[in-house]
Amino acid sequence: MVRKITVLLPVIVGCIILGVLGLTFVPEGIKNRNIDFSKGTIVINNNSISTEIAETPAERQRWLTFRNEELPLNSALLLVYDKPDLYSLWLLNIQFNLDLIWFDGAG
């Protein structure tokens, strides 16, 4: 039992230190929710969905990172890209579940 503790304790302390350092060195521009996204509405089969629109590379990079509040029901964040391609999303510190839907130019 003593052997497990002597092995686990340094591992646990190391993980805690890495976690604290990771959050400490995240740039303030990423931590602070200082982007006001454009607003819009999507209508699908007479159902309205309020949207925040991320059009610029900075907005798309920032999108939901460090956002603590969930998106309200019937709302979305629309990521707009200039051309069809393969894009990746970085889901850093998102505190809630997401549904992702991809649309092409044809809808």
What pLDDT, in 10s, does the model give residues 59-105?
887 777 767 777 888 888 888 888 888 888 877 777 788 888 888 87
- DSSP-based helix, strand, coil % in the chain, nearest 5: 30, 20, 50
What percent of the chain is predicted at pLDDT more than 90? 10
Q: How many domains does the chain have?
A: 1
47 within some domain = yes
Kindly report the pTM of this predicted structure: 0.60
Query: How many C-beta neighbours within 10 Å does residue 71 have?
Result: 16
25 within domain boundaries:
no
Torsional sign, CA 102, 95, 50, 57: negative
> Distance (Å, rounded) from C-alpha 5 to C-alpha 41?
56
pLDDT recorded at residue 12: 80
In a domain, 2, yes or no: no
Q: Report yes or no on 21 lying in a domain.
A: no
**Residue 52 belongs to domain spanning:** 34-107
Examine residue 18 and state whether it is found in any structural domain, yes or no. Answer: no
